[in-house]
Amino acid sequence: MIGTLLTSIKLGTDISSIVVYGLVVALFAALISSPLFQKFLGSRLPFKWVPVPSAVG
């Protein structure tokens, strides 16, 4: 948070605009990196299916 505040002061901008732009960039980075992570590392990571418990008592 201190780095954000110092950057805001140095650039002379509003801190809320820096936070909003940071959230937008983080959202796009997550949307792009998640499928790439699944594609490249998904087949290399061990995965074990867990049976879903039935609701029938």
Tens-place pLDDT, residues 37-48: 888 877 777 877
Contacts of 4 (CB under 8 A, 6+ apart): 15, 18, 19, 22
Helices (H), the chain: 2-11, 15-41
pLDDT band at 57 (very low <50, low <70, confident <90, very high): low
pLDDT digits 0-9 by tens, 11-27: 888 888 888 988 999 99
